[in-house]
Structure 1
Amino acid sequence: MQNEIEMLRSIRQSTEMGCSGIRAVLPEAQNPAMQSALRSQWKEYDSIYAEADRLLRERGVRLSGVNPLAKYGSMLTAKLRVRSSRNTTARIAEMLVQGNTRGMVKSMQNLRAMGVLDPKVSSLSTRLLQTEQANIEEMKHFL
């Protein structure tokens, strides 16, 4: 049960940061196709976040979000990196590929380290991993 809780917390944190990162760069995106892709990714992250949140509550876990200072710092850094770039679309895509790659590595490490989990938790973890892979593929078109 403890592994399941740790996995769900990790999923929740990853998707919360994903939503935060997208929220930071969405106003900077000038390409309509990029804006659409970002909204779609945000929606999927939000859905996975809500499911992880629900499963944690079912297990009686008290929840807290990502440190607001960490989120703010990440958002500020993202905005500055995009604004300092000549090609904002490619820069946003690059940042998202990097973030999704970090998320994939963490997801794979968690899956291997935590072993057999409740099927709902395992399924959600796999869904996050597949989402991150799909996000990378989608962003490659904007590089």
Structure 2
Amino acid sequence: MINDNEMLNYVLQNAEMGCNGISAVRKQLKDNRVDGVLCEQLIKYSKLYHCANTMLKRRGAEVHHVSPVTKAMTSYAANRDLKRDSSPSHIAEMMIKGNTMGVNKMARHMREYDGSDPQVTMLAKKMLDTEEENIGELKSYL
């Protein structure tokens, strides 16, 4: 079973990866059609990150960030992929894949979570809902 602090750290890392992924993609944008959606999603991830970070600190828990190696690999992969195709359709496809991975992992973590704190449960659910909403928003660009 996953405890409260582990779930909060997972939400934090998921939001951090979302922020990093969107930021990496936005740096390479050549077509601004999808930028508005990405900006809105970046704001949502930032809020989730801040909330999880605050909850962890209030509990006196250790905050586990995404490793610098993982961040670098993600940025490199995004840059490589966008050099091949930077169309709004391809960007949407890339982001949908990332969000889908996030949905699957979050759903798995929620099943394993002991659910002892309703606020943590609510934040985890908000993360899951956000990832699903992001997918819906991006589908119109495919």
Q: TM tier, shorter chain? A: over 0.9
Indicate the larger mover: 106-115 or 3-12: 106-115
TM-score norm. by structure 2 comes to 0.94
Q: Percent identity?
A: 33
Provide the rounded CA distance (Å) in 1 between the counterparts of 2:120 and 2:31.
Answer: 36
Secondary structure class of the residue paired with 2:3: helix
For 2:99 and 2:69, how far apart are their aligned partners in 1? 21
**1:116 to 2:111 alignment:** no
SS at match of 1:126: helix
**CA distance in structure 1 between the aligned counterparts of 2:116 and 2:34, rounded to whole angstroms:** 36
Q: For the aligned residues, what is the CA RMSD?
A: 1.3
Equivalent position of 1:19 in the other structure:
19
* 4+ runs deviating over 6 angstroms: none
Residues 33-75 of structure 1, C-alpha deviations (whole Å, 9 max, x = no match): 3101001000000000000000101111122421112101110
Letter in 2 for 1:54: T
The answer on whether the counterparts of 2:13 and 2:64 sit within 8 Å (CA) in structure 1 is no
Q: Do 2:89 and 2:141's aligned partners in 1 also have CA atoms closer than 8 Å?
A: yes
Q: Which residue of 2 aligns with 1:94?
A: 93
What amino acid is the match of 2:91?
I
Q: CA deviation at 1:77?
A: 0.9
How many residue pairs are counted as aligned between the two chains?
141
Which AA in structure 1 matches 2:61?
V
In structure 2, runs of 5+ residues without a counterpart are: none
